[in-house]
Amino acid sequence: MELILEGIKKAFTLLFMLDREVLDITFLSLKVSGIATMISVFIGVSTGATIALNEFPGKRVVVSFVNTGMGVPPVVVGLFVTIFLWRNGPLGFLGILYTPLAIIIAQAIIATPIVMGITIAAMQQLPKKLRLQILALGASRLQMVWMLIKEARMSLLAAVMAGFGGVISEIGASIMVGGNIKGYSRVLTTATVMETSKGNFDVAIALSIILLLLAYSINLILTHIQQKERPR
C-alpha cells in the first residue's frame, strides 16, 4: 500500500516539475498517434465513403473484411510491419525499423479499419433519398460526396475518437516496430511497461496518469464540439 501511495506522490512531483524526459515521451506519443490518426482519417473516410456510396459485387465481403480489421490485435500488425521492414524484408531498404516513422505506419494500419468501418456505417445510415436530393439541387458528384460527409460529421467525429483512442493506448505494435529506444522512439505505453518491469512504479504511475488525461481531454474536446452541433 505504501508503495502505491509513495508512487502516486512521486508521480505528481514528476508531473508538476515538468520532468524533461516525461514531457518528451508525451510529445512523441501525441505526435506519432496524431499523425497516424490523420493518415487513417484520410484513407478511412475517403475509402469508407466510396465503399458506402457505391454498389458493386462483393461489397458485403469487403465490408465484413473492414469490420474484421477493426478488431485486429495490434501485435499481429506489429509482427507484419516488423517482417516487412526487417533488414532483409521487402521494405528493408527503407531502413526505418525502430524509428518513430515505423510506429506511425503500424498505428495508421491499426486505426484505418476502425475509421473506415465507422465511416461506412455512418454513410449508410443517411437517408437514401438524401443523395438524390443533393444531386437534384445541381450538385456535382464530388460536391454530393462532400455534402454527405458533412451530414455524417457527428459519426465521423466518433470515428476519429475511436481511431485515436485505439492507437494512443496501443502497446504491442509500438514496442515491436519502435523498439522503445530512449529519447527516440519511446512512447507513453512502451515507457510504462518498461518502468513497471524495472519496479519504478512512481514513473509508471506518472506516465499512466498522463495517458489517462490525454485520452480524456481529447475526447472531451471532441465531445464538446459534438454536443454544440446538436439541436437547441
The DSSP string of 79-116 is HHHHHHHSTTSTTGGG--TTSHHHHHHHHHHHHHHHHH
Supply the minimum distance, in Å, between the C-beta of residue 219 and other proteins: 22
CB atoms within 10 A of CB 180: 18
Of residues 96 and 126, the one with the C-beta less far from other proteins? 126
Residue 230 CA to its chain's centroid (Å): 25
Of residues 87 and 129, the one with the C-beta less far from other proteins? 129
Of residues 71 and 231, the one with the C-beta less far from other proteins? 231
Supply the minimum distance, in Å, between the C-beta of residue 200 and other proteins: 50
Of residues 67 and 155, the one with the C-beta less far from other proteins? 155
Cell, residue 32: 506519432
CB atoms within 10 A of CB 71: 9
Positions touching other proteins (CB under 8 A) are: 127, 129-130, 132-140, 143, 147, 150-151, 153, 229, 231-232
**29 phi/psi in degrees, rounded to 5:** -60, -50
Supply the minimum distance, in Å, between the C-beta of residue 149 and other proteins: 12
Closest listed residue to residue 37, CA positions, set 185, 183, 156, 197: 156
Supply the minimum distance, in Å, between the C-beta of residue 137 and other proteins: 4
Of residues 137 and 220, the one with the C-beta less far from other proteins? 137
The C-alpha atoms of residue 147 and residue 144 are separated, in whole angstroms, by 5
Cell, residue 143: 460536391
Supply the minimum distance, in Å, between the C-beta of residue 56 and other proteins: 13
